[in-house]
Amino acid sequence: MAKELLKGNIAMAEAAIRAGLEGYFGYPITPQTELLEWMAERMPALGRAFLQAESEVAAINMLYGAACTGARVMTSSSSPGISLMMEGLSYIAGTEVPAVIIDVVRGGPGLGNIAPSQGDYNQIVHGGGHGDYHPIVLAPASVQEAVDLVVLAFDLAEKYRTIVFIMADGNIGQMMEPAELPPMRPIRTEYPDWAVRGAMGRERRILSSIYIDPKDEEVTNYRLLQVWNRIQAAEIRYREYFLEDADYVVIGFGTAGRIALSAVRMARAEGMRVGLLRPITLSPFPHPQIENLIPQVEGILVVEMNSGQMLEDVQKAVRGRVPVEFYGRLGGMVPFPDEILAEIRRMCREGIPPDGDPRQRWMKRFAPIIRWHD
Amino acid sequence: METTLSVQIVYQRPRSLTAVPMHYCPGCTHGIAHRLIAEVIDELGIRERTIGVAPVGCSVFAYNYFDCDFVEAAHGRAPAMATGIKRLLPDRVVFTYQGDGDLASIGMGEIIHAAGRGENITVFFINNAIYGMTSGQMAPTTLPGQKTTSSPQGRDVETMGYPLRMAELLANLDGAGYVVRRSLHDPKNIRMAKKAIRLAFETQLRGLGFAMVELLSTCSTNWGLSPLESLRWLEEHMIPYYPIGDFKVAEALQAIKV
Ligand SMILES: Cc1ncc(C[n+]2csc(CCOP(=O)(O)OP(=O)(O)O)c2C)c(N)n1
Ligand code: SF4
Ligand SMILES: [Mg+2]
C-alpha cells in the first residue's frame, strides 16, 4: 500500500479499523478528538460498533463489557480523560481481558492545556488504577510508527490478555506525515474460549475481577506477574541510532526522542560521538539495553517532555555506574533540537558530575531559561 | 381395588438458577428477585443467549446463581458494561441487576444515559432503601427520617436531601420503553413483579429500547427488623413514597398478555 499524507490521530484510528477493530467507545477531548470523529464516520459504515459515551468513566466500562465478548475493541482519550478511566482499567486488568487504549497526552496537571506533553508517563507506566498489575505501553515517535504500533497493540493485548496503551503525545496526534496504512484484516470469526457471548451449547462462563478469598487473589496476582515476566522477556522494543562508537548516549521516547535524534545528528556533524536510544516500549522498559550500554558510554542524557519521570527508570537501570544528566520541558512546552544540542555539547565538553541529582542540576540550569513572565 | 398415583411437579428450581446455596441473609428478597428472573428466562427460552451483568452490592455474586453467561461490573457501571456487550452482540439478551446505591448513587450517570440512549437492555433495580453490603449506610432511596448507620438520627432532608424516585425519573426519558415499579413483599405483588420482569425482557426482545423494573425489597439485617416485620415495614413505609405502578409502557407492549 502506498504512503499517504496522514494526521496522526486519523492514522491511528484507521490502523485500528484495519487491524479488525469491532468496537470503539470514546469521549471527545483535544488533542485526540479527530480519532473519535474518524471512528464515528467509519465504524458504522462498516457495520461495526461506535458509541460516543457520556464520559470517559462510561467509555472505559463500555470497553470493559465489549472486551468481555472477546472482540477487538479500543478507546482513546487525552490525559484528563485517562484519569477518569483508571477505575475501569483496573477492572480490565483484574479480569484479564485484552483492551487497547490510546492516550494522546497533553499538558497538565488539572485541565492544563492542549499542547503535547509526556506528563502522563508515571500514571500510565507505573500508576494506573488500583491494585497490582502492569500494562504494556508503546510510545510512537512518528505517524508511521503510531500506525504500526496500533496494529501491534491488538496482537499483544490478545496474546497476553492484557491492557496495551499507546502513549502518544499531542504532537503525534496532530502532526501530518506520509505513512503507509496496513491492509484491511478481516474481522475475526472465532472467539477465545473465555469470551462471554451466551452459553449456547456449552457451560456458562463468568468474567469477573473478584477473588474474595485472598489466597485466590494472591494466586491471581502471581499469575499476572508470571505473564508480566514473559512480556518483559519477549516484548521490549526500542530503536538505536549511532550507538556503535558512541561515548555518550541520549535517551528519549516519543516526540522528545525524535527531537533528540535531530540534535544527535547535529552533534555528529560537529564530530561528537553521541548516539540515541529511543525506548518504544516504556513498559516493559528497556532495562537490559541500557545495562548493555554502561561499559561503553561515559554519560547518559535523558530528554523528556516532563520533569524526569522516565529519568528515574533510567537511573534504576544505571545504578550509579555511569553519570546521568537530564533535560526536560514542562507543561506542554516542546524542546527545540538546539536546546538538546547545547546539552549534548556541554556533556561532551565538560562531562557529567559523577554524583548529585541530575534533576536538581537541570532545575538550576533551566531556571534562567524558563519564561517566568511573558 | 386398584389405585394409580400420578405425581405432578408443581414447583422446582428453574433451569436458569444454579443449584448452589445463596449467600443472602435469611428472608432477604434478593433471592426472590433472582428466582423470578430465572423463571422468566426459562419461560422465554433465552438462557443460552442471555448475558447478565452483576453489580457491586449484596448481589455482587449474582453470577454464581444464574446458569447463564455473566460478567461482574464496577460499582454503578453495570449499564455501561451492558452497553458495551449489547453493542457488540445485538442479538443477545443483556440484563443488569443493581442495588439502589449502585444504580441511583454512584451509577446515576450510567443509568440515565443508558435510558436516554434507549439502550436495548433490561435493568432490574433492587430498591431496599439502604446500602446492604457495606452494612447499612444511607442510600439515595433511604426514606426521610429513616435511621441508617450514616444517618443515625434519621435522614434529615434539610441536610441529606430527598430520596430519589428512579422509576419516575427514568420514565421521563424518550429512550425508555418500559419502566415500572413493583414490590416483593407478598405473593400477589411477587406475581405482579414476575409479569413485569417478563415484559421487561419482551421490551428487549422486540427492540423497544430501555427497560427497567424497580423492585421494592427488604434488608432485614440492616433495617434491624425480623424478615416478617421487614415485609410490613416495606408495605407501610416504602410503598407510600414509592408507589407501585407503570410509568412508561411502550405502545407495542400494551397488547402483550403475560
Ligand atoms: C467505587 C466504590 N465505592 C464504594 C464501594 C463500596 N460499596 C460496596 S457495595 C456499596 C453499596 C451497595 O448498596 P446497594 O447498591 O444499595 O446494594 P445492596 O447491598 O443494598 O443490595 C458500596 C458503597 C465500592 N465497592 N466501590
Ligand atoms: S444485608 Fe440486606 S440486602 Fe444484603 S443479603 Fe442481607 S438482607 Fe439482603
Ligand atoms: Mg441497597
Domain encompassing residue A128: 4-234
- Judging contacts by C-beta atoms under 8 Å, the chain B residues touching residue A51 are 83, 87
- Split at pLDDT 50, 70, 90, the class of A374 is low
Which chain A residues are within 8 Å of B45, Cβ to Cβ?
Answer: none
Averaged pLDDT for residues A307-335 = 97
Number of separate domains in chain A: 2
Query: A12: CA distance to ligand 3 center in Å?
Result: 43
CATH assignment at residue B146: 3.40.50.970
Sign of CA dihedral B16, B22, B27, B28: negative
Atom 26 in ligand 1: which residue has the minimum CA distance?
Answer: B75
Please report where in the chains the cell 489466597 appears, as a residue.
A215
Q: Going by C-beta distance under 8 Å and a sequence separation of 6 or more, which residues neighbour residue A1?
A: A180, A181, A182, A183
> What is the C-alpha to C-alpha distance for residues B60 and B34, in angstroms, rounded to an integer?
12
**pLDDT confidence band for A319 (50 / 70 / 90):** very high
Q: How far is the CA of A180 from the centre of ligand 3 (A)?
A: 54
Task: Render pLDDT for B80-111 as a digit per residue (tens, 0 to 9).
Answer: 999 999 999 999 999 999 999 999 999 999 99
Q: Which amino acid is at A86?
A: M
* Residue identifier of the C-alpha nearest atom 9 of ligand 1: B57
Kindly state whether residues A60 and A151 are assigned to the same domain: yes
Q: Could you tell me which residues of chain B have a Cβ less than 8 Å from any Cβ in chain A?
A: 47-51, 53-54, 60-61, 63-64, 66-74, 77, 80-85, 87-89, 92, 109-110, 113
Per-residue model confidence (pLDDT) at position A185: 96
For residue range A132-190, what is the model confidence (pLDDT) as tens digits?
999 999 999 999 999 999 999 999 999 999 999 999 999 999 999 999 999 999 999 99
- Cβ-Cβ contacts under 8 Å, B92 against chain A: 197-198
Task: Using the 3D structure, point to which of A190, A211, A234 is the last residue of a domain.
Answer: A234
pLDDT tens per residue across span A58-91: 999 999 999 999 999 999 999 999 999 999 999 9
CATH number for the domain spanning A153: value is 3.40.50.970
Domain assignment present for residue A77? The answer is yes
In a domain, residue B231? The reply is yes
Say if ligand 2 is within 6 A of residue B146 CB: no
Q: What is the 3-state secondary structure (H, E, C) of chain B?
A: CCCCCCCCCCCCCCCCECCCCCCCCCCCCHHHHHHHHHHHHHHHCCHHHEEEEECCCHHHHHHHCECCEEEECCCCCHHHHHHHHHHHCCCCEEEEEEEHHHHHHHCHHHHHHHHHCCCCCEEEEEECCCECCCCCECCCCCCCCCCECCECCCCCHHHHCCCCCHHHHHHCCCCEEEEEEEECCCHHHHHHHHHHHHHHHHHHHCCCCEEEEEEECCCHHHHCCCHHHHHHHHHHHHHHHCCCEEEEECHHHHCCCC
B67 contacts in A (CB within 8 Å)?
199, 204
Asked if the structure places residue A371 within a domain, the reply is: no
| C-alpha cell of residue A339 | 536546546
Q: How far is the CA of A11 from the centre of ligand 2 (A)?
A: 51
Q: State in Å: Cα B25 to ligand 2 middle.
A: 5
* Same-domain check for residues A184 and A320: no
A268 shares its domain with A150: no
Query: Within this chain, do residues A308 and A290 fall inside the same structural domain, yes or no?
Result: yes
A189 alpha carbon – ligand 1 mean position (Å) = 38
Q: Whose CA is nearest to atom 2 of ligand 2?
A: B219
Which of A196, A211, A234 terminates a domain? The answer is A234
Domain range holding B75?
30-253
What is the predicted pLDDT for the residue at A128? 86
Please give the grid coordinates belonging to residue B180: 415500572
Q: How many CB atoms lie within 10 A of CB B228?
A: 11
- What integer is the mean pLDDT of A109-125? 97
Q: Do the domain assignments include residue B222?
A: yes
User: Residue A355's pLDDT is what?
Assistant: 87
Does the pTM of the predicted model rise above 0.95?
A: yes
Could you say which of A202, A234, A266 is where a domain stops? A234
Provide the number of CB pairs (under 8 Å) joining chain A to chain B.
Answer: 129
* CB contact A352 to B (< 8 Å): no
Contacts of B87 in chain A (CB under 8 A): 23, 49, 51, 62, 66
A80 exposed, middle or buried (CB, 10 Å; 0-12, 13-18, 19+)?
middle
Residue B34 domain-assigned? yes
Q: Which of A164, A185, A8 is nearest to A93 (CA)?
A: A164
Q: Is the minimum distance from the CB of B140 to ligand 1 under 6 angstroms?
A: no
Cβ-defined contact of A196 to B51 (cutoff 8 Å): yes
The three-state (H, E, C) secondary structure of chain A, written as one string: CCEEEEEHHHHHHHHHHHCCCCEEEECCCCCCHHHHHHHHHHHHHCCCEEEECCCHHHHHHHHHHHHHCCCCEEEEECHHHHHHCHHHHHHHHHHCCCEEEEEEEECCCCCCCCCECCCCHHHHHHCCCCCCCCCEEECCCCHHHHHHHHHHHHHHHHHHCCEEEEEEEHHHHHCEEEEECCCCCCCCCCCCCCCCCCCCCCCCCEECCCCCCHHHHHHHHHHHHHHHHHHHHHCCCEEEECCCCCCEEEECCHHHHHHHHHHHHHHHHCCCCEEEEEECEEECCCHHHHHHHCCCCCEEEEEECCCCHHHHHHHHHHCCCCCEEEEECCCCCCCCHHHHHHHHHHHHHHCCCCCCCHHHHHHHHHCCCCCCCC
Query: Would you give the distance in Å from CA B63 to the centre of its chain?
Result: 14
| Of residues A128, A142, A144, A137, the one with CA closest to residue A166 | A137
Atom of ligand 1 minimally distant from the CA of B103: 15
Residue of A121, A284, A204, A57 whose CA lies nearest to B71: A204
CB A76 within 8 A of CB A142: no
Query: Whose Cα sits closest to atom 7 in ligand 2?
Result: B219
> Is A25 in the B-facing interface, judged by CB distances under 8 Å?
yes
CA distance A312 to A301: 12
pLDDT at B258: 79
In a domain, B79, yes or no: yes
Cβ within 8 Å, pair B73-A61: yes
A303-337 burial, b for 16+ CB within 10 Å, e for fewer? bbbbbbbbbebbbebbeeebbbbbbbbbbbbbbeb
Asked if residue A267 and residue A167 are part of one domain, the reply reads no
Contact residues on chain A for B110, CB-CB shorter than 8 A = 54, 57-58, 61
Ligand 1 near B75 CB (within 6 A)? yes
Mean pLDDT, contiguous 10-residue spans, chain B (258 residues): 81 96 96 98 98 98 98 98 98 98 98 98 98 97 98 98 98 98 98 98 98 98 98 98 98 89
Mutate to test the pocket of ligand 2, among B22, B23, B29, B30 (most ligand atoms within 8 A of CB): B30
Subunit contact B71:A65, Cβ cutoff 8 A: yes
Atom nearest to B135 CA in ligand 2? 1
**Contact between chains at A62 and B81 (C-beta distance less than 8 A):** yes
- The residue-averaged pLDDT of A217-238 equals 98
Distances (CA, A) of A113 to A330, A332, A333, B209: 11, 7, 10, 39
Q: Give dist(CA A353, CA A91) in Å, integer.
A: 45
The atom number, within ligand 1, closest to the CA of B30 reads 21
Q: Using alpha carbons, list the distances in angstroms from residue A179 to A2, A133, A166.
A: 8, 34, 17
Is A372's pLDDT higher than 90? no
| Co-location of A180 and A270 in the same domain | no
Cβ–Cβ below 8 Å for B69 and A205: yes
Name the one residue in this structure whose C-alpha cell is 508517563: A121
Please tell me the predicted confidence (pLDDT) of residue B5. Answer: 81
CA–centroid distance for A303 within its chain: 16
Q: pLDDT of A272-302, one tens digit each? A: 999 999 999 999 999 999 999 999 999 999 9
End-to-end Cα distance, chain A: 47
From residue A277, alpha-carbon distances to A300, A313, A326, A357 in Å are 10, 14, 14, 21
Q: Please, how many CA atoms are within 13 Å of residue B31, restricted to the half-sphere of its CB?
A: 13
The ipTM is 0.96
What CATH number should be reported for the domain holding residue A352?
3.40.50.920
**Is residue B10 one of the residues assigned to a domain?**
no
- pLDDT classification of A127: cutoffs 50, 70, 90: confident
A202 and A137 inside one domain = yes
What b/e sequence results for B5-40 when a residue is b if at least 16 CB atoms lie within 10 Å of its CB, and e otherwise? eeeeeeeeebebbbeeebebbebbbbbbbbbbbbbb
Q: How many structural domains does chain B have?
A: 1
A125 and A180 together in one domain: yes
Q: A310: CA distance to ligand 3 center in Å?
A: 45
Mean pLDDT of chain A: 97
